[in-house]
Amino acid sequence: MSSQKQTVIITGGNSGLGYECAKQIAKYDNNYYVILACRNAAKAKQAVNSLIQETKNNNITSMELDLSSLESVRNFIGNLSKMDYPPLYALVCNAGVQFIDDTHYTKDGFEITFGVNHLGHFLLANMLLEQITPGGRIVIVSSGTHDPLKKTGMPEPVFVNPQQLAFPDPTGTNEVISLIGRRRYTTSKLCNLYFTYELARRIKQQTDKRITVNAFDPGMMPGTGLAQSYTPVMKFVWNYVLPVLTLFYPNVNTVRQSGSALANLVTDSKLDQTTAKYFEGKKQINSSELSYNNENWSSLWKASVEMSKLTQAETILKV
């Protein structure tokens, strides 16, 4: 446990995996000051109240952050700098979306799955690097669905170039929109791995802050809000049928199981030197062969700098 107060930011912490992660961290040590960075301010405040009651830790608050808006990310950074919170120790990039009903776009014109799951977190993490204390941690929630060899029931990711992900051609395929939406999700989770490995590499080469960066696969968690755009029948299966699988199948987990494992990547002192790794729950494993393509790491990084308009004044890394 820490002898000094330190801050942990969790994106999308008002429900599901993020909420359970916040609860486990707050219960683990009262010296952790947990910030829920959420799009819906009202739901975030309700979550804060519930977490304080459940954990008996009063050091929990929320701040508004809409990852589908680059302006909102920058406003979040500006507002954070005005607050008198303890030193920033960890960032958990947890928030994510999946849409299978149509193509949706962010406020900046990017396809929303790519925009929220990757680009918003890319800008957020870069802009927070200067504030993260030496020896701090960044954890990026990916998914086993990024790996074509895993039998997840999801379409395998397709990464051609970042521009195609950000600005898809709606007339360029005959696939049904539900399949397209799920592939966008799995590809965004592959991008999470590319970002993890490239960010870890750049931090190690360009700074002496010893900030670790690791990726996390929570497994399938039926019953969470990821199925918000599903059809009524698919939602019923997701919410009531698939949860039974947590009793029988590996890496099909309850939110509590996955939230505890995610929190462990923030709190476990044994991981102080562990960086650029991928965890399935609490177990370190290899990610997919696709994820180790360092040319894709670099191309995604370069494109993300351009799309987010990240400037040298906003990050301690070379842009």
The catalytic residues are 185
Q: How far apart are CA 5 and CA 24, in angstroms?
A: 16
Three-state secondary-structure class, residue 93: strand
Helix 70-82 vs helix 121-128: crossing angle, to nearest 10:
30
Task: Determine the longest span between alpha carbons in the chain, in angstroms.
Answer: 58
Neighbouring CB atoms inside 10 A of 104's CB total: 16
Three-state secondary-structure class, residue 135: strand
Residue 3 CA, distance from chain mean position: 27
* 256-282 burial: b if 16+ Cβ within 10 Å, else e: ebbbbbbbbbbbeeebeeebbbbbbbe
Q: How far apart are CA 100 and CA 72, in angstroms?
A: 25
Q: How far apart are CA 247 and CA 301, in angstroms?
A: 40
Q: What is the chain's Cα-based Rg? A: 18
